[in-house]
Amino acid sequence: MKEMYPKNGRVILHVDMNSFYASVEMAYDPALKGKPLAIAGNVEERRGIIVTCSYEARKFGVKTTMPLWEAKKLCPQLIVKKPNFERYRAASIGMFEILRQYTPLVEPVSIDEGYMDITDSFELGAPIDIAESIQKRILEQLDLPCSIGIAPNKFLAKTASDMKKPLGITVLRKRDIPAVLWPLEANEMHGVGKKTAEKLKTIGIQTIGDLAKANELQLKKLLGINGIRLKERANGNDMRPVDPEAIEDFKSIGNSTTLPRDISNQQELFHVLESLAETVSVRLKRKKVLATTLGITIRYKDRKTITRSKKLANPMDHKNDVGQIAKQLFLKHWNGDPVRLLGITGYDLVELDHAYKQLDLFSYEKDAKKEPLLHTLSSLREKYGKKIIESAGSQTRDPKQHVGTATSFNKDFLRSFPNQNEEKD
């Protein structure tokens, strides 16, 4: 079987769960199978937004981020359910446990997808046999469908897994690139968004093939260092390794401070929480992650310490949002006694690129107003590099240094935060 594996290259799988949240709900309640199903926030209100939907719902034109009222107009029989994050987390853990039975080289990149390096797993069979076994076991044991891409690197494996959904297995070799990828429109390439595709058209790049053969000086002038990277990808080059340790770099991000004296004045304690929220916000932004659970620590003058946390409806990193939730938790759990120490910590963090937001019309409009500024910043970073302009929150020096250590970040937000007092919405 070893001769079916490359002598020098790698064999990478990208496992991508199909319509994950909706599929988990169908596995939990088989009566939902075959029906148009959507997962959305504010399920009883018109301003809810579709988080994900089943393939049956997609046939009616229902899409992710679509307003709930519009989705119901397209599909009046649409079944809408509120997200159940603990259920999705459990299914995700089960999925990754199956993957790790084939190789220790498994790198989760989000709750429903991950890379595997099976180069040294030849004793288990040919790559296609391993992919079929993984897909079958996930379907039989978890009742969940997935698509798998097989390729010599991460980019091509990710591209391959997108080619056939649901329950697809696609092999994409470098020699296939000219025939399979190059004829496609540039915006169909992983990593090329609508705006980038529009920019590429201004220098005559319409297809992935055009991008693969593009002039590097033109690309760098137009898109900065990202332009060169995209050309490399269009030619099927990607040297990034599958790194299981990538999820272990950090476990949480937080900050605490011992107060100069025991304080029982609510406004003074609020000021401390605001300061802590600003520091936590800076550290979240610097790591380009969002917290999906927020916790506070309260230590009284008798050294009795309590920690309480809350699962957030929307991932967050802004100081005002962090501060508001922290104050709510504090008011709910503070017994009125003098406080010696306060702390705020973000847990179950997700990378900015993989985070989604359960938008409602109000927050959507608020975010939309920022779009012109964000677009300008994005353009400058694409042209001159990510560090040409940094938001205040991404600077490396904290605005205020508190007593206490910044705890670390956990990309693997699949694990539960071990707090028996956790609150859930």
Q: Where are the domains of the chain?
A: 2-17+86-176, 20-85, 182-234, 247-394
Q: For 2-17+86-176, CATH number?
A: 3.30.70.270
- 107 pairs with which residues across the strands? 115
CATH topology for 247-394 is Dna Ligase; domain 1 (3.30.1490)
Q: Which amino acid is at 419?
A: N
The confidence score (pLDDT) of residue 402 equals 35
16 is in an annotated binding site: yes
The confidence score (pLDDT) of residue 9 equals 92
The backbone region for 408, taken as left when phi is positive above 0, alpha when psi lies in -120 to 50, beta otherwise, is beta
The confidence score (pLDDT) of residue 399 equals 39
Catalytic residue among 25, 107, 113, 382: 113
Among 402, 413, 414, smallest CA distance to 297 is for: 402
Output 49-54 pairs: Cβ under 8 A, ≥24 positions apart. 49/358, 49/359, 49/360, 49/364, 51/21, 51/83, 51/356, 51/358, 52/19, 52/20, 52/21, 52/22, 53/19, 53/22, 54/19, 54/22, 54/23, 54/26
The confidence score (pLDDT) of residue 425 equals 32
Q: How far is residue 356's CA from residue 51's CA, in Å, rounded to a whole number? A: 8
Give the three-state DSSP class for 193.
coil
96-107 burial by CB neighbour count: b if 16+ within 10 A, else e? bebbeebbebbb
What is the strand order of the sheet 146-151 is part of?
106-110, 113-117, 12-17, 146-151, 169-171
Q: What is the rounded (10 degree) CA torsion for 422, 423, 424, 425?
A: -160
- 256 pairs with which residues across the strands? 343
The confidence score (pLDDT) of residue 52 equals 92
The confidence score (pLDDT) of residue 49 equals 86
Number of other CB atoms surrounding residue 299 within 10 Å = 18
Q: What angle in degrees, to the nearest 10, is found between the helix axes of 266-286 and 319-333? A: 140
The confidence score (pLDDT) of residue 234 equals 97
Q: How far is residue 51's CA from residue 72's CA, in Å, rounded to a whole number? A: 14
112 is in an annotated binding site: yes
Tokens 């590097």 locate to 216
| Domains 20-85 and 247-394 agree in fold | no
Run means of pLDDT, 10 residues per run, the chain, 425 residues: 83 97 96 95 70 95 91 96 88 92 91 94 94 97 97 97 96 96 95 91 96 96 93 96 72 83 94 94 87 91 85 88 95 94 88 54 47 56 52 42 31 34 32
The confidence score (pLDDT) of residue 46 equals 55
Q: How far is residue 354's CA from residue 340's CA, in Å, rounded to a whole number? A: 37
CATH topology for 20-85 is MutS, DNA mismatch repair protein, domain I (3.40.1170)
CATH topology for 182-234 is DNA polymerase; domain 1 (1.10.150)
The confidence score (pLDDT) of residue 106 equals 93
At residue 8, what are phi and psi to the nearest 5 degrees? Answer: -115, -25
What token pair was written down for 226? 């990202």
The confidence score (pLDDT) of residue 302 equals 83
Q: How far is residue 190's CA from residue 223's CA, in Å, rounded to a whole number? A: 16
365 counts as catalytic: no
Measured CA to CA in angstroms, residue 297 lies from 16, 240, 269, 409 at distances of 37, 39, 12, 18
The confidence score (pLDDT) of residue 101 equals 92
**Overall pTM > 0.95:** no
Helix (H) or strand (E) holding 198: helix 194-201
Per the CB < 8 A criterion, the answer to whether 384 and 224 are in contact is yes
Tokens 């938008």 locate to 359
Largest CA distance in the chain: 73
